[in-house]
Structure formats: C-alpha cells, structure tokens
Amino acid sequence: MKLRKTILLIVALVLAVSLFAGCSRPETIAVVTAKDGSMTDTIPFDNYHFWAYYNYAYYDAYYNYYSYYFKTTFRETLDDIYDEDAENPITVNQYLTDSLVNDLKQQYVMLKLFDKYELPFGAEEITDVANYYSSMVSNYGETTVKKIRARLGMSEAEFKEHLRILVKIAVLQQYLFDEGGPMEVTAEQSKQYLLDNYVSVMHIYLNDSYTVEENGETVNKTYTEEELRAKAEEIVDEYNANPSEANFRALTEKYSKDPGSLVTKTENEETVNDYDTVNVTYSNGFLYAVKFGGYSFDVGNNSFVPQFTDLSKSLEVGEVGISESYTNGNNQKGLHIIYKQDFSSKEDVINALLEKADEDGHAYVGTVVEGKLFDDLINGEIDKYDFAFDEKLLEQYSMKNLKSI
C-alpha cells in the first residue's frame, strides 16, 4: 500500500526521560473515560516514552530547521517563555508537554477508529513499518537509533511494534479519503475552501533604492522612509485620477519593483508582458497563484511579509491601500500599494489552483481540505472522552529531565 505523503500525522514534539536507577517504569500515563460512561481505558506510559524519544531524534537531527518553534535555544532554556505575546504565556517546557499530551489524545482516538472500521494490517503494512525503521536509521544513523532503543529498553521488534501506529494512521486516512471513501473530498468542497480563504490582489512594490542620471552617469540613491511613503502616495493619487483595475495594472507596469509578479512571455523573439497566464506554485506548504501584477493566496497560510498579508486581508474589493513599511533580508526598506480584486470572479485562477497536484497526483487544495476534515473528525472524537493525565509523571518525565540520546 502506498502511503500518502501529505497528511500523514507524525506525532509532534519532545518529552520524557530514561528510568532512574532502581526505579520501575510506570505502567500508565493517563486514564481515559468515555463521557457516556460506557468504558474506562488507559494510555500506557510506554506510548508516551516511545514517542518522546522518536520525536527527540527527529528534532535533534533537524534542529537548525525547527528552532523557530521555541524562540529560544533548544534544550538549554526550557524555563523561558515560549511566546511572550500570548495571552497566558507558558514555558517552552510546558509547551512541549502540552503538545505531546495532545498528540497522544489524537493517537488514541485514531487507533479506535482504525479498529471500528476493521481496517487491514497485512504484509504490505508490515513492509511499510520496516521502511519507516530503515528511514530512521538512514536519517539519524544506526548508532542513534540503537541508543534510543537502549533508553526505551526495546528490541528492534518491539520498537517496530510502536511504529505500526504511523502506518495505521495512514491506512485510516486512505480508507476515509481515497476515491469512494466515506469522507472523499469533493470538487465543491475544494472550491469552497478557496472562496473562504483566498484573496486576489494586484500590487506595486516599492523599495528604498532608485537611480538617477547625474552628469551623464547613473547614480544610486536611497529614499528615506518618509520619502518612500510620499512616493507611494503620489502613485495612489495617480490611480485615483482614473480608479480602475486597468489603470492600476498600468501603474504596476510603470512602478512595481517585484519581478516575481511581473509575468512575461516571448513573442516574435521579444519579451513582452503576459497578462493572461496563471502560474501556480506550491512551496513550503504555501500554495499560491501569480497572474500579471499580483497574487492569489491563502491569507491564513502564506510566506508573504505580514504587512502585505494584513493589508490584503483588510481591504474591501476594489479598494487601494498602502502597507506599513518593512525591512527585507538585504536591509532594504519596502512597502506595497495593494489593489484588492474579487477572487470569486477569477475562474481561471481558481481552476489553476484546483488543478495543481503533487507528483503522486494528489491535488494540493484537496489535500488541505482533507487535512481540515480529518482534524475536525479527530477533535470530535476526542470530545467524546475525558483524559486524565498524571500531572506528577508529566512533570517528572518532562523535557527538562530528558536524558540525551
């Protein structure tokens, strides 16, 4: 069975420690009770311990890519505040604890659903487990994996038993969402997701550098922040003299410094502006479309600077605004003049976004919708239970006490 690449839930962050000398390992980490009173169950401590070290290895290996999660130095400042701007700030250590607790709740109900639907676990799934294990060895090194097993007191076979959970989650998702499945995503659902979450804008990007001719030579100059804003206001005045989308596009051609949105094509061996082509890109979890002079993108999931996103979200259709200035990675100051378009009228853009698929043929929009539907399902299942985690054990085996691999 070919596992889905895009939605497989890998249970998240990092906790737990190896056993103290002379102490026996706890049997359970939580008691689970159905709210209708029909059953009481437990979550084994071994589950908690296993996923703690599984994720420890992952984040340790890829720390340089994930350090932004903590806003502090990994493993050295866990008593620091995770997000100082939060309404109720918590430490990094508490954030990690809460994350794994939530993951174990999700894992618990997903396995319940796997059993409810009587899904298969045969030779192909066992091969997938072996592939997961081989991937860990390849990514982290055989020595590291052996050290993890030693911390857990597990043989290779016992370790692989826990990896079965990942495969069961993938099998569950395939059953629910593949063609003919009970939760298969429809074209209407995908389109509605775009209509609910995407915006279309044309924009003029201005930075603080410009050139002038002095004494027959080209001289580089720099606007002050005040001069840059004054320049933007002049352009807006030029737009207001003829407030139309066609005029804004003409001003984009005239003033914008954003090469990413100024789409061109070759015609009769000349490079000319291309006003019709829609280019769709998926990068780092961000799906967006480019049409001459602007972007169509998810206002809740993108990699644009916040000033661009915030203004795009706040404008009314047909309205023009100037973003707050910001500094890019080259220490250039910049700002955007944005014209908000009617995304729902951009059928060519909507269709291009819906058609964009990965190498396995899974449409990116459908995959996003699938993930949201799956999250809603799992959260609904979690609400059917009361989970009582042992707070003393969570503290005793917290990230701060984790023994390094």
The confidence score (pLDDT) of residue 73 equals: 42
DSSP structure class, residue 277: -
The confidence score (pLDDT) of residue 82 equals: 76
DSSP structure class, residue 363: B
Q: Helix, strand or coil for residue 184?
A: coil
Handedness of CA 374, 380, 386, 389 (dihedral sign): positive
The label of the residue with tokens 């809740």 reads: 300
The confidence score (pLDDT) of residue 75 equals: 47
Distances (CA, A) of 159 to 108, 133, 142, 371: 18, 9, 14, 28
The confidence score (pLDDT) of residue 61 equals: 65
Indicate the pTM of the whole model: 0.78
Rounded distance, CA 249 to CA 239, Å? 10
- Residue 281 sits at φ, ψ, to 5 deg, of -130, 140
The confidence score (pLDDT) of residue 10 equals: 35
> For the chain, what is the radius of gyration of the CA atoms?
26
| Residue-wise pLDDT tens digits, 244-290 | 999 999 999 999 999 999 999 999 899 999 999 999 999 888 999 99
Handedness of CA 33, 34, 40, 42 (dihedral sign): negative
Within 10 A of 163 (CB to CB), how many other CB atoms are there?
19
Which positions of the chain have pLDDT values less than 70?
1-23, 59-77, 402-405
Q: Take residue 231 and report the two structure tokens written for it.
A: 């320049």
The confidence score (pLDDT) of residue 235 equals: 97
Within 10 A of 145 (CB to CB), how many other CB atoms are there?
21
